[in-house]
Structure 1
Amino acid sequence: MKAKHAPDNLGGQHLMEKRIAIIGGGIVGATAAYYLSTLPGHPNVQVTLFDSGTGQASKAAAGIISPWLSKRRNQQWYRLAKDGADLYPQLIHDAHLGTDVYQQTGTIVTREVPTDLEALADLAVKRQATAAGMGRITTLSAQEVQQRVPLLTAPQPGVFLSGGARVDGAALVNALLTRASEQNLTVRHEAVTLTPDERVVSSLGARQFDRVIVAAGAWTKDLLATLGVTARVRPQKGQLIELAVKDYPLQENMPVVMPEGERDFIPFGHGHLIVGATHEDDKGFDLTPDADVTEDLLASAQRLVANVTAANITTVRVGTRAYTDDFAPFFGPIPDHERFLVASGLGSSGLTTGPQIGRLLAGSALYGGTPDWSEYEKPLTTYLTSSLA
């Protein structure tokens, strides 16, 4: 497929003025907006981002950036996640963001059985050969894990990766949109629809843009339907809890922990702990906190930290992720709709893979060309089909 807009000039010389729309202000949309405000040629681009603010997974998420020991067999996903993790330090530096948004605290992945721990350490060494971002690898006893994460009262032995990090999804998205708004971005807090003739309908009326990035998560299916495109994507509910716990002033940089058999354990310092998140396939777009799920998350926390009760819960966050049948994301130009780019299906790895996807889509929207992203994903026709055929 030949892209409609060929590259003009990557050196920042004159570009014909472009109008670009982004639908969805989550991690992909916000990162795309940021890069569209910084890439060469951005002064000649006007970007409008539409987001209703309802259900967004990124703003409800706090994540662990540590894909290197994943059990997934999908090598395309792994390359995407690995490159996404590698992108973070540069993105945070360039956008002038602080440790309240992202911090490389290191990650501890635990295993109780000694042979399992040894196998995990061997896997880390093997993958480190092609993943410098993993950093140092250290096998820790249960006591050494507790020394690094004194919150834990029932620690397990684990493998420590110094390159692992924590990220606050809401803080990251808001900061990237703020940076972009200082340049060429206008944010409109409303839902939109698409027309069969490829216009974006909002309170401003029906407008045609040079390029449109559809980054609407699980809502992508409904949006693309009016273009005659069926997207194989479904919603998944995710919940996590925030807890007020003992503050350790000398240990504000505690590693994040991926405990075997428990929910992710993310200390943010200053007595602030996040536990979660869940993966609920049968709740659709429901954003109501579920008391049973909250109890399950608390029980996971209690198995790791003594004396934590429901009174320690300060917030319950709920969001809607987008998933595909094979749990892999998809992104790129929509077949037969050259003005439109799409990204969806990121699932629970959205905070890891989203920035890399947003960066790639921003470049394609600005410069055009015929991108080949086959190293990261299956053909888009795996997930998108014409409903008019």
Structure 2
Amino acid sequence: MTQSIAIIGGGIVGSTAAYYLSEFNKNNDLDITVFDHGCGQATKAAAGIISPWLSKRRNKSWYELAKDGATLLNSIADKTNMPEDIYNQCGTIITRNNLEDITELYDLAIERSKDTETIGEIYKLTPDEIKRHIPIINSNLPGLLVTGGARIKGDKYTDHLLKIAKSNGVSVINKEISINENVNVVCDRKEMQFDKIILATGAWTKNVLSNLPLDVDIRPQKGQLIELSINDINLSHEDMPVLMPEGESDFIPLGNGRLIVGASHENDKDFDLNPDADVIDELLNSATSLLPSLSAENLIRVKIGTRAYTSDFSPFFGKIPGYEKILVGSGLGSSGLTTGPLVGKILAEMAIDNLSMDIEKYRKPIENYIKLVK
């Protein structure tokens, strides 16, 4: 008997879920449809750093999700022959103002390396050693290199996985949908019934569920980043690590004479996708603090997306209470590129009742974030 599954949202979670479901569909007993409107999607606007191991967040479930998400992402990249302009394990350099902080981070990295190989090698770096790794920057701070760190381009990641999914028979419909009171998908005023619905709509999750009596703890956060041309700078090599400098925006050399700086975090902008001049100026100032020869003339484009956050900054995923045919994953925040692939795989496995892992170590109760309104 064929099982019909709808995936609402084609970002980091939805595209990964589509990829895995298409891989699971060896007997052609799954009918999979992705609905991907895409407007404002955080993933499509994001270029980010995969390096969760030095986080000092005290949320243990988040760290487990991020740590294993980084490992899974590396595996997906390898298995799908993902090009380096999408995912590149180029290493991550973290700088701090003093050696004591670097020693503390080093000890943390060594401890956490005991239960993950993906972190790679860990090295303390002098300012001169950092400059040898990233010769374009001007910085006098010590740092730490984690060789397993990576950079990723969200839009190209989703395109890559959805292309594979489509080649395996998944349908993709680029239209906006809603879920009605009958728990059916409505697209172009046509009601469509599915056995399972995977809801991967990020900051729009509350909106999509608005026809159901649910209280959803989600708020949107605006993120802006800038892409700069560095073609006029004498590069000794292109394949540089990404940099997470203290007190400044992330610094992501992409190769091919391109540099990403960002991203910002604005909590009071709702779903606004217009660039803010003051934020762009701050990002440019952050870039020029490390690379003084840059100016506004190097600006190629601004990319803007909307992240999803919960009130305690924790992601959530699982079956929606009272509506167990709907599986949801949201609230990933600024770590979505790291945690999203694992959430997508989990939801894909849950949709076919074939979980391969202990998911409770990754999450708090979903009822903390989605409740039935009585």
Q: TM-score range by the shorter chain?
A: over 0.9
Match of 1:329 in 2: 315
Match of 1:160 in 2: 145
User: Residue 262 of structure 2 is aligned with which of 248, 253, 276?
Assistant: 276
Task: Give, in angstroms, the shift of residue 149 of structure 1.
Answer: 0.3
Match of 1:83 in 2: 68
Whether 1:349 and 2:335 are equivalent positions in the alignment is yes
Q: 1:204 to 1:43 in 2, by over 3 A?
A: farther
Match of 2:284 in 1: 298
Q: Deviations over 1:247-280 (max 9, x none)?
A: 6665222000100110001001121100000010
Q: Deviations over 1:298-335 (max 9, x none)?
A: 00001010210000010100000000011110001111
Distance 1:20 1:368 in 2: 15
Match of 1:313 in 2: 299
- CA-based RMSD of the aligned residues comes to 1.5
Q: Deviations over 1:35-94 (max 9, x none)?
A: 111125462211111121210000000010000001211010000000000012210122
- Specify the SS of the correspondent of 2:53: coil
Match of 1:9 in 2: none
Q: 1:42 to 1:293 in 2, by over 3 A?
A: farther
- Superposed, which structure 2 residues align to 1:68-79 within 5 Å? 68-79=53-64
Distance 1:55 1:182 in 2: 26
2:269 aligned partner, one-letter code? K
- Superposed, which structure 2 residues align to 1:1-389 within 5 Å? 16-41=1-26, 43-203=28-188, 205-246=190-231, 251-367=237-353, 373-387=359-373, 389=374
Q: 1:372 to 1:105 in 2, by over 3 A?
A: closer
- Specify the SS of the correspondent of 1:99: coil
Structure 1 unpaired stretches of 5+: 1-15
Q: 1:42 to 1:88 in 2, by over 3 A?
A: farther
Distance 1:369 1:228 in 2: 28
- Specify the SS of the correspondent of 1:299: helix
Task: Give, in angstroms, the shift of residue 183 of structure 1.
Answer: 1.1
Confirm or deny: 8 A CA contact 1:36 1:42 kept in the other structure. no
Between stretches 60-69 and 197-206, larger displacement belongs to 197-206
The alignment-based identity, stated in percent, is: 49
Confirm or deny: 8 A CA contact 1:224 1:230 kept in the other structure. no
Confirm or deny: 8 A CA contact 2:314 2:332 kept in the other structure. yes
Q: 1:143 to 1:370 in 2, by over 3 A?
A: closer
1:227 aligned partner, one-letter code? L
Structure 2 unpaired stretches of 5+: none
Match of 1:8 in 2: none
Confirm or deny: 8 A CA contact 1:62 1:168 kept in the other structure. yes
Q: 1:368 to 1:135 in 2, by over 3 A?
A: closer
Distance 1:37 1:95 in 2: 13
Distance 1:123 1:364 in 2: 34
Confirm or deny: 8 A CA contact 2:349 2:356 kept in the other structure. no
| TM-score, reference length from structure 1 | 0.93
Q: 1:77 to 1:114 in 2, by over 3 A?
A: same
Distance 1:361 1:106 in 2: 29
Between stretches 34-43 and 374-383, larger displacement belongs to 34-43
- Specify the SS of the correspondent of 1:367: coil
Q: Deviations over 1:181-226 (max 9, x none)?
A: 1112111111111111111100261111011001101110011221
Q: 1:201 to 1:305 in 2, by over 3 A?
A: same
Task: Give, in angstroms, the shift of residue 101 of structure 1.
Answer: 0.6
1:153 aligned partner, one-letter code? N
Confirm or deny: 8 A CA contact 1:108 1:255 kept in the other structure. yes
Between stretches 58-67 and 127-136, larger displacement belongs to 127-136
Confirm or deny: 8 A CA contact 2:90 2:242 kept in the other structure. yes
Aligned length: 373
Q: 1:198 to 1:368 in 2, by over 3 A?
A: farther
- Specify the SS of the correspondent of 2:52: coil
Distance 1:93 1:191 in 2: 32
- Specify the SS of the correspondent of 2:171: strand
Task: Give, in angstroms, the shift of residue 96 of structure 1.
Answer: 2.2
